[in-house]
């Protein structure tokens, strides 16, 4: 792999713009190389730009070595550059002790032919180095302040541990009790200066904050201790990850400057890399040891106070192993895909061989069995769209794992999602084929109940796998999904995070799947499934009313989530987002009532509300969720930063979003049943189009979220700390 590609693959996606722009500098070197080739008129290849390298290969430049000592003994006439530095203060730094240092390279051979190109290169090189230095210094200052805050949090936690575990101790005396606290003398007076950070994250705390005055005082309970310890442990994990990112940032950039200067030397036959790399070695980027010291301190504290001194367990938690690609996953994806194709061919062959499409039971089959199995079809299509999303997110370096908040190393790649999808498709298609064979085989025609129970058995099997506590079939991801699902159900009692509202948005595109779940309950609960009779369900007014309510529930959940986010952050855009979902609820209800009762007035109401909701939702999708249609952006009518290389893809996505959102028109235009399609088949097609639209929306929604994180250099999660120090009391005491 070329160094440029390997360098890009090792960068922190959210900090990508802060790294040295290796690609740009290499382009400048190519211009110098082309000029020199024209001067000499020799077909000189570019071997230096195609060398295979490794990020972990030893190189001069990161440590002081004899090459720099020998460079000082060179004759002055051999020198090509002089690197100087100067101190300066910004407006914010006036009066501060520390000043910023900028570096400038003076090119001594600018009068030579092609010297202007080399001068441009060194100006670009200086700009990149100063950019890297400024970013690194700012991040080091940031982590030093965070370390001080975590130190205060640990003082409070240890004091709380002592108070909870040894309640008879005097509050004011200094303690040195348990083995875990043996090297840290903590004054228990710190508990008089802190309050618990009661972030409303649970239904109980939310209700209590609404109906009661919020009690922020510590009451020294074990539950409170456990809660604080869990928060602080997560804060240490995120802080350690940030430190590792910063250490890797410094290493990669030093390596990149070394590589680009070696390429310059090889192209120009000069010896400038020693001088420049000596400056890099002596700079804050190389000489600073704050990050390394903080990593050692964080690891020592974490192992001692959160892992009971077990270093092996502590280091496995702080530095989880990289996720490895398993070849058996690829093998089984291929197997299940092949099995699915074979079963589909067998089903189609069976239907055509027996001419089942003209059978008298076709209508009965479409009214009963088709809705039962189409539920799995909607689910499989959504999973396949998610697999495609994961593939393209990975390909274009969208950090979906960080955005969704997956535990490091547990996120599913697109192959794992395909494995689950094709595995489920094999079960579903096998059940469909078995259903057909049992119905047509004279020896099994008497087993009507068993035939009709196949779809229900499949649903039960899927649910059992989803809630299975055993560590099989990606348990971490299954539980993550169930937790997000529970948060959606309990909205607005939980604080809303991105995975919660992202999942709720998926359910707004799976209304037909939810209606099929209702059909399952009615068909097997009140219908005569042994005789394949669903008239009890389809002709029931109560069933139709519940069907309308089910269609509204996902949008209502989103309204409640928007209300909660508005109350938490006072963000007016969330109020507008809630109004968008309310308009969609009005459209869904009016279309459902028109479908049941008909009439010109209801038709006009359905068309009007649907038109308003479509315009509102389309605008929100494209402008707010995707961040597109910016008039004055660098990319006209898109946005300043794009991930996909081709801009026309964004315009195609916008057009498709509008077209697919108009699928509701089949309702008001009375396309309930096409001449060659059953009504349920048409409904399934329209529902599938909405799932496809949602899959497209998913990619661009997360792309926009990723770019927002990049703009703010957010690479680790922000964890609320458990204790709040009351500095006002300290000022009063002073």
One DSSP character per residue, 91-142 reads: GGGTT-S--EEEEEEEETTTTSTTHHHHHHHHHHHHHHHHHHHHHHHHHHHH
Percent of the chain with pLDDT over 90: 52
For residue 175, the cross-strand partners are: 186
Give me the pLDDT at residue 696, please: 97
pLDDT band at 202 (very low <50, low <70, confident <90, very high): low
**Model confidence at 50: pLDDT above 50:** no
Most confident of 62-71, 211-220, 311-320, 712-721: 311-320
Closest by CA position to 251, among listed 61, 15, 21, 83: 61
Please compute the mean of the pLDDT values over residues 242-255 and round it to a whole number. Answer: 95
CA distances from 598 to 138, 538, 589 (A): 65, 17, 13
HSE-CB at 340 with a 13 A cutoff on CA atoms is 19
pLDDT greater at residue 45 or residue 423: 423
pLDDT band at 130 (very low <50, low <70, confident <90, very high): very high
CA distances from 405 to 172, 283, 570 (A): 41, 36, 23
Give me the pLDDT at residue 547, please: 93
How many C-beta atoms surround the C-beta of residue 445 within 10 A?
A: 11
Give me the pLDDT at residue 705, please: 94
Closest by CA position to 551, among listed 597, 584, 598: 584
524-581, pLDDT tens digit by residue? 988 678 777 777 887 888 999 999 999 999 999 999 999 999 988 767 899 999 999 9
Q: In the chain, what are the domain boundaries?
A: 1-73+117-319, 327-711
Alpha helices by DSSP H, 11-114: 22-40, 66-71
Residue 230 is encoded by which pair of tokens? 């869990």
Lowest mean pLDDT among 5-14, 126-135, 437-446, 658-667: 437-446
Lowest mean pLDDT among 173-182, 342-351, 389-398, 624-633: 173-182
Q: Residue for token digits 């367990």?
A: 313
**Model confidence at 300: pLDDT above 50:** yes
HSE-CB at 55 with a 13 A cutoff on CA atoms is 16
**Model confidence at 178: pLDDT above 70:** no
**Model confidence at 721: pLDDT above 90:** no
Please compute the mean of the pLDDT values over residues 179-203 and round it to a whole number. Answer: 65
DSSP 676: T
Give me the pLDDT at residue 199, please: 55
80-124, pLDDT tens digit by residue? 888 887 776 655 444 444 557 788 888 888 778 878 899 999 999
Q: Residue for token digits 């040891």?
A: 289
Phi, psi (deg, nearest 5) at residue 181 = -115, 15
Cα distance between residue 289 and residue 136, in whole Å: 12
Handedness of CA 545, 546, 547, 550 (dihedral sign): positive
Q: Are residues 462 and 478 in contact, defined by beta-carbon separation less than 8 angstroms? A: no
Q: Are residues 500 and 487 in contact, defined by beta-carbon separation less than 8 angstroms? A: yes
Mean pLDDT across the chain: 84
Q: Are residues 397 and 315 in contact, defined by beta-carbon separation less than 8 angstroms? A: no
Q: Residue for token digits 């196949």?
A: 454
Lowest mean pLDDT among 84-88, 178-182, 288-292, 504-508: 178-182
**Model confidence at 241: pLDDT above 50:** yes
One DSSP character per residue, 241-254 reads: HHHHHHHHHHHHHH
Confidence (pTM): 0.85
Most confident of 4-18, 347-361, 448-462, 467-481: 467-481
**Model confidence at 601: pLDDT above 80:** yes
Let me know if 529 is exposed, middle or buried by CB neighbors in 10 A (0-12, 13-18, 19+): buried
Give me the pLDDT at residue 173, please: 44
Q: Are residues 3 and 53 in contact, defined by beta-carbon separation less than 8 angstroms? A: yes
pLDDT band at 622 (very low <50, low <70, confident <90, very high): very high
Q: What is the largest CA-CA distance in the chain?
A: 101
Give me the pLDDT at residue 54, please: 47
3-state SS of 585-647 is HHHHHHHHHHHHHCCHHHHHHHHHHHHHHHHHHHHHHHHHHCCCCECCCCCCCECCCCCCCCC
pLDDT band at 672 (very low <50, low <70, confident <90, very high): low
């Amino acid at each position: 792999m070329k160094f440029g590609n390997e360098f890009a693959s090792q960068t922190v996606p959210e900090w990508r713009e802060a790294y040295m722009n290796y690609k740009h500098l290499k382009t400048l070197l190519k211009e110098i190389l082309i000029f020199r080739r024209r001067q000499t008129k020799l077909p000189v290849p570019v071997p230096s730009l195609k060398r295979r390298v490794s990020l972990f290969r030893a190189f001069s430049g990161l440590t002081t070595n004899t090459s720099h000592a020998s460079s000082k003994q060179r004759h002055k006439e051999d020198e090509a550059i002089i690197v100087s530095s100067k101190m300066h203060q910004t407006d914010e730094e006036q009066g501060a002790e520390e000043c910023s240092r900028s570096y400038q390279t003076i090119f001594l051979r600018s009068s030579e032919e092609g010297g202007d190109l080399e001068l441009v290169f060194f100006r670009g090189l200086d700009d990149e180095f100063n950019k890297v230095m400024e970013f690194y210094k700012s991040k080091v200052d940031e982590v030093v302040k965070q370390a001080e805050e975590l130190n205060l949090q640990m003082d409070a936690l240890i004091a709380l541990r002592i108070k909870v575990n040894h309640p008879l101790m005097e509050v004011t005396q200094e303690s040195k009790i348990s083995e875990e606290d043996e090297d840290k003398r903590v004054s228990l007076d710190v508990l008089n200066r802190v309050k618990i950070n009661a972030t409303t994250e649970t239904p109980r705390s939310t209700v209590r904050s609404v109906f009661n005055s919020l009690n922020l005082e510590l009451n020294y309970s074990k539950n409170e201790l456990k809660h604080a310890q869990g928060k602080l442990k997560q804060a240490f994990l995120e802080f350690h990850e940030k430190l590792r990112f910063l250490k890797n940032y410094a290493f990669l950039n030093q390596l990149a400057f070394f590589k680009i200067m070696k390429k310059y030397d090889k192209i120009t036959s000069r010896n400038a890399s020693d001088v420049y790399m000596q400056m890099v070695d002596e700079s804050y980027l190389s000489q600073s040891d704050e990050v390394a010291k903080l990593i050692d301190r964080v690891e020592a504290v974490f192992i001692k106070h959160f892992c009971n001194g077990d270093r092996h367990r502590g280091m496995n938690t702080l530095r989880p192993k990289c996720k490895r690609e398993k070849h058996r996953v690829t093998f089984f994806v291929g197997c299940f895909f092949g099995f699915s194709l074979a079963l589909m061919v067998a089903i189609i062959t069976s239907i055509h061989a027996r001419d089942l499409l003209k059978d008298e039971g076709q209508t009965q089959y479409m009214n009963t069995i088709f809705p039962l199995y189409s539920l799995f079809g909607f689910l499989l299509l959504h999973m396949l769209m998610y697999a495609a999303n994961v593939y393209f997110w990975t390909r274009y370096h969208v950090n979906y794992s960080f955005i969704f908040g997956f535990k490091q190393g547990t996120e599913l790649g697109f192959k794992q999602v395909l494995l689950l999808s094709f595995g489920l498709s094999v079960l579903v298609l096998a059940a469909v084929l078995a259903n057909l064979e049992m119905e047509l085989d004279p020896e099994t025609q008497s087993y009507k109940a068993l035939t009709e129970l196949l779809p229900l058995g499949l649903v039960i099997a899927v649910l059992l796998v989803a809630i299975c506590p055993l560590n099989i079939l990606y348990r971490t991801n299954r539980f993550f999904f169930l937790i997000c699902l529970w948060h959606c159900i309990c909205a607005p009692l939980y604080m809303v995070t991105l995975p919660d509202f992202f999942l709720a948005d998926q359910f707004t595109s799976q209304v037909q799947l939810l209606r099929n779940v209702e059909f399952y309950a009615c068909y097997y609960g009140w219908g005569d499934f042994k005789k394949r009779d669903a008239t009890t369900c389809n002709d029931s007014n109560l069933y139709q009313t519940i069907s309308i309510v089910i269609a509204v529930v996902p949008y209502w959940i989103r309204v409640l989530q928007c209300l909660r986010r508005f109350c938490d952050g006072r963000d007016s855009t969330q109020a507008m987002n809630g109004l968008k979902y309310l308009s969609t609820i009005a459209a869904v209800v009016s279309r459902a009532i028109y479908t049941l009762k008909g009439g010109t007035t209801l038709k006009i109401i359905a068309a009007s509300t649907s038109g308003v909701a479509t315009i509102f939702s389309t605008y929100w999708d494209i402008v707010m969720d995707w961040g597109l249609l910016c008039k004055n952006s660098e990319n006209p009518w898109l946005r300043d930063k794009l991930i996909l290389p081709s801009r026309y893809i964004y315009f195609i996505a916008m057009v498709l979003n509008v077209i697919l959102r108009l699928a509701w028109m089949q309702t008001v235009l009375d396309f309930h049943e096409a001449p060659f399609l059953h009504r349920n088949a048409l409904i399934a097609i329209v529902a599938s189009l909405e799932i496809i639209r949602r899959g497209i929306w998913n990619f661009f929604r997360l792309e926009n979220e990723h770019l927002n994180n990049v703009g703010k250099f957010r690479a680790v999660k922000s964890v609320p700390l458990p204790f709040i120090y009351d500095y006002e009391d300290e000022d009063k005491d002073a």
